[in-house]
Amino acid sequence: MELVQCLHMNKGEGETSYAKNSTVQREIILHETSIMKEAISDCMRNTSPKTMGIADLGCSSGPNSLMVISEIISTIYSTTNYYNNYSSVVPEEVVIGLNDLPCNDFNDLFMHLPEFYNKLEKYKGIINGLDGCFVSGVAGSFYGRLFPKKSLHFVHSSSSLHWLSRVPETEKLDEEDLNKGKIYISKTSPDCVVKAYLSQFHKDFLTFLGSRAVEIVSGGGMVLSFMGRITPDAAAEVGSHQWELLAQALVSMASEGLIEEEKIDSFNAPYYAPSVEEVRNVIEEEGSFIIKHLQPFEIGWDEGSSSSSSSSSSSSSTNITTRGQHVAYTIRAVVESMLESHFGTSLIMDDLFYRYAQLIDNYFFNTRPIYIIFLISLTRK
């Protein structure tokens, strides 16, 4: 299954929307700040662009998308101020491409652009404010070319590159028994499942870097963050347990005859949390980028929510009263479209995510669930 056909974050601004349930992704963006500032300053020093091309890949919709580009502009502004003191280059124009898959809620994103342009007013005279900043939507997969050759100076992508271009494909992986009752790599997955996932990640990340290598000018920068793992074992709990619990919730529905068991066996998430070595190997193999920073950091499953500091309190969505519910809403906002496309409308999402939230609450009793995020800064050679 090609991801391009079915993946989109939950649209709009309702209770289950990505806009209302993306606080953990916001925290990840906040973790990027100092690396992003350094990368943008270096990029401006290296390239001195008159027209600066910027892209946010996998921008989605909701507050995070505009937060990212506001941060980038504000960094350009402060870097420019710094350079002004030392009489250096000011970009006359900034061209920003917001990219996501075609089913993304671009309408919602565009509706919030006036707020963004209003904020830009304060930079007027420095990058010619509103008149000098052009934002557009670019619909397509980042696993391929999206922009003209050498048109970008800085590229950002957060919480997106752990999505593969498709469900890993091997003849064996298609045999439903192979990953029975599981929807991602698990302790019981045979080697061929693990290999199929790694091979798809390798192919995709290589294509991603190759495409950006054509689009980014020499000296330009790229900051990426996505989920990974810190052990060689791809079935390690950190990086995969969110899928394990979701599989358990699905299996409990199947045991009550609410969904077909075979549907679970034939579903595999198009997601991969690589190890640092796997990421480094692909960057080195592709060869167009210098690694300036490649470090993992930890983030709690419900970080950034009001529930993260206590075992039960309310959050942005009114029905959320426990940490488990908060996490379940966050994951629902991301995976619902994919589940619907595989299981069809017979899968009652409210029921599934109610069960999932309970499993997560139990998990919180015994552990502090974390994601490992890789923060990567690259410079185009």
Ligand X SMILES: C[S@@+](CC[C@H](N)C(=O)[O-])C[C@H]1O[C@@H](n2cnc3c(N)ncnc32)[C@H](O)[C@@H]1O
**Which residues contact ligand X (rule: CB under 6 A)?**
3, 7-9, 22, 25, 29, 58-60, 64, 99-101, 104, 141-143, 158-160, 163, 165, 334
Q: How far is the CB of 229 from ligand X (least distance, A)?
A: 18
Strand order in 93-100's β-sheet? 133-139, 93-100, 51-57, 152-158, 216-228, 370-380, 289-300
Bridge partners of 229, per DSSP, are 275
Nearer to ligand X by C-beta: 26 or 153? 26
Nearer to ligand X by C-beta: 92 or 298? 298
Closest CA relative to residue 302, chosen from 321, 283, 289, 286 = 321
Q: How far is the CB of 103 from ligand X (least distance, A)?
A: 7
Q: How far is the CB of 25 from ligand X (least distance, A)?
A: 4
Long-range contacts of 115-124 (CB under 8 A, 24+ apart): 115/66, 116/66, 116/69, 116/70, 119/70, 120/73, 123/73, 123/77
Name the residue whose CB lies closest to ligand X.
Answer: 58
Q: Which two tokens stand for residue 201?
A: 């990640």
Half-sphere exposure of residue 88: CA atoms within 13 angstroms, side-chain side: 18
Nearer to ligand X by C-beta: 3 or 127? 3
Nearer to ligand X by C-beta: 69 or 95? 69
Q: How far is the CB of 46 from ligand X (least distance, A)?
A: 25
Q: How far is the CB of 310 from ligand X (least distance, A)?
A: 25
**What is the separation of C-alpha 129 from the centre of its chain, rounded to a whole number of angstroms?**
29
Counted residue by residue, the chain has a size of: 381
Nearer to ligand X by C-beta: 91 or 147? 147
Q: How far is the CB of 334 from ligand X (least distance, A)?
A: 5
Nearer to ligand X by C-beta: 104 or 240? 104
DSSP assignment string, 264-326: HHT---SB---BHHHHHHHHHHH-SEEEEEEEEEEEETTTTSGGGGSSS---SSTT--SHHHH
Q: How far is the CB of 166 from ligand X (least distance, A)?
A: 9
Nearer to ligand X by C-beta: 3 or 96? 3
Report d(CA 80, CA 189) in Å as an integer.
Answer: 52
Q: How far is the CB of 59 from ligand X (least distance, A)?
A: 5
Nearer to ligand X by C-beta: 53 or 62? 62
Q: How far is the CB of 158 from ligand X (least distance, A)?
A: 4
Phi-psi label, residue 302: left if phi above 0, alpha if psi -120 to 50, beta otherwise: alpha
Residues 80/128, Cβ–Cβ less than 8 Å: no
Q: How far is the CB of 17 from ligand X (least distance, A)?
A: 12
Q: Which residues are within 8 A (CB) of 301 and not within 5 positions of it... i.e. 6 or more apart?
A: 24, 242, 323, 327, 330, 360, 369, 370, 371
Report d(CA 47, CA 66) in Å as an integer.
Answer: 25
Nearer to ligand X by C-beta: 37 or 180? 37
Q: Strand 152-158 relative to strand 133-139: parallel, antiparallel, unpaired?
A: unpaired
Q: Which two tokens stand for residue 244?
A: 């394990």
Q: Which residues are within 8 A (CB) of 283 and not within 5 positions of it... i.e. 6 or more apart?
A: 209, 289, 291, 294, 376, 378
Nearer to ligand X by C-beta: 142 or 267? 142
